[in-house]
Amino acid sequence: MSATAGPTGASSGRAIWVLNGANIGRLGTREPDVYGPASYDDLVEVCRRTAQDLGVDVDVRQTDAEGELLEWLHEAADEKVAVLLNPGGWSHTSVVLRDACAMLTAPLVEVHLSNIYAREAFRHRSLTSAVATGVICGLGVEGYALGLAFLAGRR
């Protein structure tokens, strides 16, 4: 099942996709001591507000199905769309997700709500980080605003 917020922003023709993987839709109730008190709706609102301020269009999506996330990345590659990606736990385990990210020609920023390097050792290695333009972690939903600002400047 996926949750999409749909395109929003200033209809500038400059698009950024915010793609969220497994469990991100559970923000606010899933380990708030680790991921913060913000809900998924709060995260979407931060993205929408930031995109509007930056004058870019944003399409925020979330899925708990790895195949769906892969399809979105393939679509982004075909459309040459910049991507802000929170792969969740798949960043540590999914070679196919890493390979889909490598197909992107527009910039890719990986974002994590928590500081993955201050957590369990298995989270310290991200397969997707190796093919990302940059990585933001540990800043909660504010990391999304920073990632969008960077990508808006690169388009």
Residues designated catalytic: 35, 112
Residue 24: Cβ-neighbour burial (10 angstroms; 0-12, 13-18, 19+): buried
d(CA 71, CA 67): 6
The sign of the torsion formed by the CA atoms of 56, 100, 108, 37 equals positive
The structure tokens listed for 53 are 């301020």
The structure tokens listed for 113 are 């709500």
Q: Contact, 89 vs 111, CB < 8 A?
A: no
